[in-house]
Structures are given as C-alpha cells and as structure tokens.
Structure 1
Amino acid sequence: MAAVGQLAFDEYGRPFFILRDQDKQKQLTGIDATKSHIMAAKRVAETLKTSLGPKGLDKIMVSPDGDLTITNDGATILKNMDVEHEIAKLMVQLSKSQDDEIGDGTTGVVVLAGALLEQAEILLDKGLHPIRIADGFEMAAQHAAEHLESISDSFPVDATNRESLIRAAKTSLGSKIVSKCLDQFAGIAVDAVMSVADMSRRDVDFELIKIEAKAGGQMEDTMLVKGVIVDKEFSHPQMPKQLNDVKIAILTCPFEPPKPKTKHKLDVGSVEDYRKLRKYEQDKFIEMVEQVQATGATLAICQWGFDDEANHLLLQKKLPAVRWVGGAEIELIAIATGGRIVPRFEELTSDKLGFAGVVREVTYGTTRDRMLIVEGCKNSRAVTIFVRGGNKMVVDEAKRSLNDALCVVRNLVRDNRIVYGGGAAEISCSLAVAKKADQISTLEQYAFRAFADALESIPMALAENSGLAGIETVTQVKAQQVSANNPSLGIDCMGLGENDMKTNNIIETLSSKKQQISLATQLVKMILKIDDVRTTMQLEM
C-alpha cells in the first residue's frame, strides 16, 4: 500500500498522521478563504447578469458531445456550465432551488446573491466580522419580505377571466425567444393551467400538463390539445387514420404466446410439430384479440411490441392498435380517458376501458412524421401542449419558455398576491431597508445599508441590458418613488415612455420575489460562515 504519511502519537497517546509535503498543500483560512468564495460566486453572477430582463442576451453552450444549447434561462445556463469550484456549484444549486420551487426568477436570484456577496466583501475590508454581516443580512431580508407584503396587490384569478392571467404570463415570456408569438403562447399557458387547476383547493397538478415538441413548421403552429398526444402511430399502415367514439383497452401485456417459465427447451423435430406450434401461436393470438374485442374495445394501446403476425391478425380482426407506448404516456392516457391499466388479458373487462371522442393520426412535413392525438376524453383536465419551431434549439427554448409561463400562472392560482416588475419591487425594498438602517444603533446597520445597495443590482442590470445609463436611471426612479410614494415605478426596459409598471402590466408573483430574497440571503450567510478551505487528501493505510 502507498503510504502518504507517518503515524505518530501525541503526549496523551492519541494517534495522528504527519502528512508528507504538507508545506506544499494549498490552504486558505480566515478572510482569504471568504474572499476566494466571494470571487467565485461573483464570476458566476456576472456571467448571468447580461441575461436579465426583456432585453437580456442569450448564451450559447456547447456540451462535450458537441450539442448546442441557446437560452437566457438562468437555471438552464448554470445547469449546462461546467463548474468545478465548490462555491460556484452552490450558485448552480441556488438557481435550481428557485426553479424547482417557483419556476421563475432563476437569473435574478443568482444576480442578487452575487451583489450581496460583493457588498459583503466591502464590509469585510472595513473590518466587520462575517457573522455580524450574515446576521445583518438575515434581519434585512426579513424586513424586505415584510415590506414586499405591505406593497403587494391582490390579483384577480378567475377561470372565466383569462385576460388578466394572460397579461401576467406575458411578463415571463417577454424576454424569451417566443416573444413574437407572445399573445398565443400566453393564452396557451393560461388555458393549460386553468384546464387542470383545482380552484377549490387552489392547486395545479402539473402531472396533467404534458409538453410535446416536433422540430419543423413555424412557432405559430404551436397548439393546445385538450387530451393527449402520443409520439407513435397505428401499428399497421392499413389501419384507419381516425377513430370516433373510441373505447380504449390500455394493456401492459404483450400480444404474444405465453412463454414457459422453465429452463427447458423445446425441440421441433418434424414439419408436423412445427405446424402444431404455429397453430398454437395463431390460436393464442386469436384468443387474445377476441378477449379484447369481447369487452367492446375498438382500440388497443399496448406498452409492449408485437410481431408482424400478430399485427396482421389485428388488422384482419379490425382491431386498431398502437404499440411501444411508454409507461408515462400510458399513465397519462389512462388518466385522460378514465381507463384502467390492465396487466393481463384475463382481467380486461368493459368497465376498465377508457373513452375518447376522437383518436387520429396526423402527419407533419415532407418527412411524414406521425403522431397520435387523443381528444374528447372523459377526463378533459389532462392537456398537451404541442410545440413547433424551425429547429431543435428553437423548440427546446420554446419549451423552457412555456414552462416558465405555466409556473407563473400556477403560482398565481396558489397565491394571487403580486408585486410590480421592472425592478420596482427591489427599489422600493431598497428604500425601506435603507430607512430601517437609520433606526438601528448596532453594527448591523452597515449590513442593512449594504443589503439595500445590493437590491439595486437588479434594476441596475435591467437598465444596462436595455441600453440605458444604469446609475442615472436607477437614481431617477428612486427619486420618483420617494416623491410620488409609488412603489410600482420601475425601469422602462421596452421604451414605452411610461415607467409605472402597474400601467404597463409588468407584474411578478409575491411568492417568487420573496423566495429570491430568502434563498439568496441563505446562500450568502452560508458562504460567509466558511473560513477554512483545505485540499482533500486521500489517506491510505
């Protein structure tokens, strides 16, 4: 075994290792370690800062396999970045946490965390202890969250009033690649969420919303299907391409003769034995098909495949079928059609069949790609969004954009309180936290003022990404908020000539904004409490 050190004993007889080349190992402690962490986090935040807002730029990422990803979604950018520094990995996890919990604001939370760490570095240089800074930031975050609730408005969420929800969805789609189809995509997102929403419980089951995509066609061809789209086709090309009033048998058992579960083998020694075996298989196929037809089923959807002989027999018996349908799709079809998933032919009964008004096979483009659309289902709550686009990269980005819009509408159904975007909420919180700092007599007042300055990084980035003078624009809006006592004034990124975000219908959910401040503060507090970094060494004995 390779020894990397020598075992020694202290004066009390306790063993310890004396490591070789200890003087050559990298070791950071104290303020140097903290500043190293801050440097890494700031680099990640600076990378994302230019992607913030409606005029934010996209990033192109190339995987080791040569696959391209073009997006301005913060969570996607960080997920595809190859980061090795431990603190940079924490920033990636921060964005993922925001994406998993809220689904929107993944770029803003990283930019805010980077700004807080930048302000913390200034305070460290002034001699403040990292724990006092972290505690001050936490107190400031609580005050900012309370202020957000005080300036929030109630948003009308009603299944019969789509227009207000569409305006909310447009806010999240404004900076995305789908902005040319803003009204269409916002409408699709709202209709999809309201189709599956349970307004009595104020909840949305995202499992009932499926997003399918096919490259080709125009983005305007994107549509919402009140049912399920399956990326399959009928098993035989001569089967009918459209079925009406369909009773569906959903099977997880294959159309094939049962195999003996023994280790013995079957030897066919003559032509007569082969004919008997073939007849046995045909009889079994016929029995299976007749069992399905006896229940009144007019379509069989099977999780497994079946050979050409079974496929031909299904055509002869006039029982259309679909094979190789995945487990997730099988479950969604069962939910949508009200059917039961059947593992054995003997258990199939008429009450376990699903119902659909129409099952049709559609083709796309000259490549003749085929897909099945199941519509008019018994449970109309299951929906599918079918996304089209010029190429795979456009389609993938459209799917990510739609997911953000779906999350925004979902969050409004859960909690209909909103604040105004364009940096208006951050500027208002910055003013409130700075005012609170004047009432604090302890050292935490420095952390409060630093927190207020960090909050201004969001409107500053929005202004700079829109081609405006950052400091000058933010200063003007701050002065207007104070003089008019109007917390909805923000950065006019789109050049509309009006910086009242309430008038411009630029809104954000209160839950998203509070989550951003909370997560960013928690991460900063964690980083400030780390004061020692040592090279990991493998000890072999």
Structure 2
Amino acid sequence: MALAFDEFGRPFIILKEQEQKTRLRGLDAQKANISAGKAVARILRTSLGPKGMDKILQSPDGDVTITNDGATILEQMDVDNQIAKLMVELSRSQDYEIGDGTTGVVVLAGALLEQAERLLERGIHPIRVAEGYESASRIAVEHLERVAHKFEFGPSNLEPLVQTCMTTLSSKMCVQLIPFCDTSWNHEPNAVNRCKRSLAEIAVKAVLSVADLERKDVNLDLIKVEGKVGGKLEDTELIYGILVDKDMSHPQMPKQIENAKIAILTCPFEPPKPKTKHKVDIDTVEKFQTLRKQEQQYFDDMVQKCKDVGATLVICQWGFDDEANHLLMHRNLPAVRWVGGVELELIAIATGGRIVPRFQELTPEKLGKAGLVREKSFGTTKDRMLYIEHCANSRAVTIFIRGGNKMIIEETKRSLHDALCVARNLICNNSIVYGGGSAEISSSIAVEAAADRYPGVEQYAIRAFADALDSVPMALAENSGLQPIETLSAVKSLQIKENNPHLGIDCNDIGTNDMREQNVFETLTGKQQQILLATQVVKMILKIDDVISPSAY
C-alpha cells in the first residue's frame, strides 16, 4: 500500500495488486466487523447457563469433542475472519486469567456490538460510542464492588468454596449426564446435584492442599488430573500423592511397598556409551567373556549403589534392559521405568526427594519418602497404575477421574479445571457476587441510572451498555425454556422495587429468584474481568474503519 497525491495535492492510496484485494471502508467496514463478532457470540449464546446446550466438534483427523465450555468450542473452531479471531482471543484470555466465564464474556461482547451497530446507524461516531462504553464499564465494575459479599473460610469451613465451585460445575455436561449417583450425600435434593457436590468438594480439597493461605497463592501445577476409561463418574477420587500410569518393571516385583524410600533417577540402568564413534573387535571367546563380565559389573555397581543408600524403590526416567531388570528383581529392589519428566518433578515435590542425574551423586538425603506405594489394576484389562500415597510433603495431589468413555473424561477434566480456577480465585480474593444473571441486572440498573449524569452523546452509549448487560440474563432465561423478555422484566422490576441486587433468573425452576437462597455464587474478579475484557475488545473493533483483505476465489 502506498500514498500518492494528484495534481491538486489531494492524497489517494495505491494498493499493490489491488485487483486481487477487496476493501471495505467506513460504516460498511464497521458493520462487517460487528456482523463477524455477533456471529461468533450467537454460536456460544445457546451454551450459556445450567441448561445450556452442548456442541459437537470434529477435528480434521476425525477426533470428536462434545462440550459446552466456551473456550474449548472457540479453540477448536476453524475461524478465518480476523474479527472472529479477536473473539476467540477474548475467550482465551478470560480462560487464562480467571478460568471460568468464557462463554459469558463472548455473549456480552456480542451484545455490546449489537447495541453499537444501532448507535452507528443513528450517526453517532464510533469513538463517542467507545468512550461511552468505557465510562459505563467503570460504573458497572464499581457497582459490583459495592454489591459484593466477602466470606471467611478455613479448613473447618469449606462450605462457601464448595457452593461456588458447584455453581461453576452446574453448567457442565459431566454433571448433567449422571443418571444415578451414590445417595450418601444429603445436602442436595437430587442425584445429579449430589455428584456435583462430590466433584466440587474434590476440587476445593485439592486446591487447599496446594494453597499457601498466608500469601494467598495457589500453584495449580501441583494438582495433576489423570483419567482412566471405565467405572462410573462418581468413582472419581482425590489422591493425596501422585498417580503414575506405569507398573513395576518386572511382574514378580512386590506390588505394595510400605514406608518406601524412593530413588528418583534421570540416568539409565545401562553401561555408559562413548560420545564418539567407536568399534570393538572381539575375535576370541575370552574377550567376549571379559566384555560380558565388565557389563555385568556395571549393572552390579549401579544396583548396589541404590541398595547402599537405603532405597527400597527406584523410579527411572529411562528404560533398562532385561539383564538389569532381572538383577533388580533378584536383589529385591522394585523399579519403575519410562516415567515422564513432569511426573518425576511432581514425585520429587511430593516425596521430598531430589532428582539424581548420576549414580555417583546418590546419597540417603536425596531419597524421597512415601508411606505407601501400591500397584492397582483396573477391571478385566491389564491396565495398571502406581499410587504413591502418604508422602512426606502432601502439597502435590492427583485427581483421578473415571468415566464411561473418553469424551466424558475429557469434558470432566475441563470442568474440574474451571472449578479449580474458581477455588484459586476465591483464595486470592474472597469476594463473591450472586449468579443467575443477578449481578448483570443489578449493574444494568446502576448504569442506566448513571447515564443521566452525562450530558453529551455518550449517554446514549451508556444506556446501550445497560441494555447489553441485560442480554446475559435474557440468554439464561431463553436457554432454560422460560419466556425471556417476560422473565427478565419481572426480575428487573422486582430488583428495583425491593432494592435487592441478589434476584436473578430461576433457571433450575426451584421456585425462588433469590440467588442467596439457591446458593448460586460467582467470583467478583471473574465477573469484573468479563465486563472489562468485553469492553476492551468491542472498543478495538469499533475503532477499525478500513479493512483490506485478499479477495475470495
């Protein structure tokens, strides 16, 4: 693209290979961009809330994913349009920062774009719309601070954390698919909610196990999530230790070791190999016997070093051949081979051991300690896994998911990731707002009331922002099979009449609109982040007034 001037000094743009490009300018460009953003939001709108629908996505190599997680849907969609890609990035940034609310943030951005389109058609300049949206987002975020509640929690009072995680899990496919569950839970009225509660409790206990409550910091890398096809979803368990998808290297090695002292090695059980090219000529039997004895001596020394420092279990990153395996079994030293680097690090953190790169550096102080190491087999298959439990440092934990098929396990992993992120956010900032669209309706009323204080054209944009906030509760009502406009109007008028910001959409048809009674919570940081991120992306889209793209063939 180049800028040139005609004989009267008027500038014009010369496009290179312009016959192969298409160009949109001004209002047409803005409408095309808004249309692309709205199309993405429309796809996710039906997935919002506890009664949201699921999407089935097929990858080019035939893998099928069934999910209603906004970030996953957009991640796996093949999006070409640049504005649609911005919406995908929006969902991804919400996922990275908060972990939950990935669908809601895209729905809100789509509604803001829809309202902006109407304002642009009336002749309001896009910059004034963007400024109005910025002012409205500040009003909404400040209002959420005012209506938020703080709650105290601790090892003896986990209920607020569990209830918030249950709100997150309520829209997930994994808890909607369970037809029957263990009836030992008496907190909730039906079987699905009982299973939802058990998953929420697992998530909360896992986060508290790795949390540093004094610094208000949580390292989610210490929580490993493993899945195995087979069993029921309610067989999902939390292991205070590490689960390794490996078995003992020899079938005759003991399957259970108590008070294990673990040597964690990244060096292989085999003779050293020179780095240079080499050739060994063996022309007599004696030379072969000498070489064999030397090799055997290497294996002997390696095993003896492990025995001398007091190790009762060897976990090795690399493999070892049959001779070393036989020798380990013969010397009563159980071993596990081909363990991945990430798993080795978690085992070292959990057991308090050190990863040893050379046998010469092995000392008793570098051994990890675990109360129980056991091998467990599953069903009629020969699948076996290694449980490392009662570790010296229980700050590394594993959530072990069971399920009827691979798709349910993958969706449960995504759901638990959201629940873990929500629990982490609450530990970092223990402020909550109430869900069911109540926060959006309350913010919408506050923004609408504040619009009168702005004398300029921005007040139209501020009122449009208030209308866009209403789209989230309206989508919730629509997805729950309720009359959307009628339901939203009733709840909104009730909020204004009673001055109660906790009234929302009764998606589960419990009989009350008060979200405090329904125990539907959401994190304050997650809700504020939704509003701020959606506003930023919409401002960016509104400021684009010229689109030059390759023409379609």
Aligned-residue offset at 1:264? 2.3
| Deviation of 1:269 (Å) | 2.0
Who is 1:128 aligned against? 124
Determine which of 42, 47, 68 is the counterpart of 1:46: 42
Contact 2:22/2:550 (<8 A) preserved: no
The aligned counterpart of 2:203 is: 189
Task: Work out the CA distance in 2 between the residues paired with 1:90 and 1:389.
Answer: 35
Secondary structure of 2:453's counterpart equals coil
Is the counterpart of residue 206 in structure 1 residue 220 in structure 2?
Answer: yes
1:337-376 mapped onto 2 (5 Å cutoff): 337-376=351-390
Query: 2:128, 2:458 within 8 Å by CA — same for their partners in 1?
Result: yes
Q: Which amino acid aligns with 1:451?
A: F
Alignment-mate amino acid for residue 64 of structure 1: P
| Aligned counterparts, 1:263-274, within 5 A | 263-274=277-288
Q: Say what the alpha-carbon RMSD is for the aligned residues.
A: 1.8
1:456 aligned partner, one-letter code? D
How big is the shift at 1:23? 4.6
Instruction: Return the match for 1:146 from 114, 131, 142.
Output: 142
Out of 441, 444, 460, the residue aligned to residue 430 of structure 1 is 444
Asked if 1:157 corresponds to 2:153, the answer is yes
Distance 1:454 1:9 in 2: 44
Q: How does 1:289-438 map to 2 (within 5 A)?
A: 289-438=303-452
- Match of 1:438, SS? helix
Q: Per-residue deviation at 1:322?
A: 0.4
Matches within 5 A, 1:168-247: 168-179=164-175, 180=192, 181-247=195-261
Residue of structure 1 aligned with 2:66, choices 59, 63, 70: 70
Partner of 1:472: 486
For residue 17 of structure 1, report the CA deviation from its aligned partner: 10
Please state how far the C-alpha of 1:271 moved relative to its aligned partner: 2.3
Write the deviation string for residues 270-327 of structure 1: whole angstroms up to 9, x where unpaired.
2222221111111000000000110000000000111111101100111100000000
1:52 deviates by 0.2
Alignment-derived partner of residue 187 in structure 2: none
Instruction: Select the residue among 81, 86, 90 that pairs with 2:86.
Output: 90
Size of the alignment, in residue pairs?
Answer: 529
**TM-superposition CA deviations, 1:7-44 (whole Å, max 9, x none):** 99999xxxx99667635631011111111110011000
C-alpha contact 2:29 2:545 (8 A) present in aligned 1: yes
Deviates further, 19-28 or 117-126? 19-28
Per-residue deviation, residues 150-180 of structure 1 (Å, max 9, x unmatched): 1001122212112222111110111112323
Structure 1 runs not aligned, ≥5 long: none
Output the amino acid matched with 1:175: S
Q: Aligned to 1:224, what secondary structure does the other structure show?
A: strand
Query: Could you tell me which residue of structure 2 aligns to residue 58 of structure 1?
Result: 54
Structure 1 residues 17, 258: CA separation in 2 closer, same or farther (over 3 Å shift)?
farther
The residue identity in structure 1 corresponding to 2:100 is: D
Cα separation, 1, equivalents of 2:475 and 2:2: 54
Match of 1:500 among 514, 519, 523: 514
Q: One-letter code of the match for 1:38?
A: I
Structure 1: how far apart are the matches of 2:332 and 2:141?
64
Task: Tell me which of 277, 295, 304 is aligned to 2:291.
Answer: 277
- TM (norm. structure 2) is 0.93
Q: After superposition, give the CA deviation of every residue in 1:345-391 in whole Å (9 maximum; x if it has no partner).
A: 00000000000000000011111211000001000111100000000
Q: What CA distance in whole angstroms lies between the structure 1 residues aligned with 2:456 and 2:338?
A: 68
Alignment identity in percent? Answer: 64
The code of the aligned residue for 1:74 comes to: G
Structure 2 letter corresponding to 1:35: K
Which letter maps to 1:382? A
Given the superposition, is the C-alpha separation of residues 292 and 21 from structure 1 closer, same or farther in structure 2, using an over 3 Å criterion?
closer
Aligned to 1:28, which of 24, 30, 34? Answer: 24
The answer on whether the counterparts of 1:211 and 1:387 sit within 8 Å (CA) in structure 2 is yes
- Find the aligned partners of 1:69 and 1:355 in 2 and give their Cα distance: 40
CA distance in 1, matches of 2:521, 2:3: 64
**Which residue does the alignment assign to 2:77?**
81
CA distance in 2, matches of 1:470, 1:47: 18
Matching of residue 116 in structure 1 with residue 112 in structure 2: yes
In structure 2, how many angstroms separate the alpha carbons of the residues matched to 1:345 and 1:521? Answer: 58
CA contact (8 A) 1:157 1:412 kept: no
Secondary structure at the counterpart of residue 493 of structure 1: coil
SS of structure 2 residue aligned to 1:112:
helix
Contact 1:248 1:355 in 2 (8 A): yes
Q: Secondary structure at the match of 1:515?
A: helix
Letter in 2 for 1:332: L
Q: Per-residue deviation at 1:70?
A: 0.3
Assess if the C-alpha contact under 8 Å between 1:338 and 1:378 holds in 2. yes
Partners of 1:178 and 1:185 within 8 A in 2: no
Give secondary structure in 2 for the equivalent of 1:169. helix
8 Å CA contact 2:240, 2:394 repeated in 1: yes
Shift of 1:261: 2.3
- List gaps (5 residues or longer) in structure 2: 176-191
Aligned partner letter, 1:204: V
CA contact (8 A) 1:109 1:519 kept: yes
Alignment TM-score, normalising by the size of structure 1: 0.95
**In structure 2, what is the Cα distance between the partners aligned to 1:63 and 1:56?**
22
Per the TM alignment, residue 268 of structure 1 is displaced from its structure 2 partner at its CA by 1.9
Indicate yes or no: 2:527 matched with 1:513: yes
Q: What do residues 85-135 of structure 1 show as CA deviations (whole Å, max 9, x unaligned)?
A: 001111111000000000000000000000000000000000010111011
Residue identity matched to 1:144:
A
Q: In the alignment, is the contact (CA less than 8 A) between 1:246 and 1:299 conserved in 2?
A: yes
* Counterpart Cα distance in 2 of 1:398 and 1:161: 26
Give a deviation string over 1:183-205, Cα, whole Å, max 9, x none: 21011011101111111011111
SS in 2 for 1:475: helix
Measured in 2, the distance between the counterparts of 1:394 and 1:81 equals 20
SS of structure 2 residue aligned to 1:266: coil
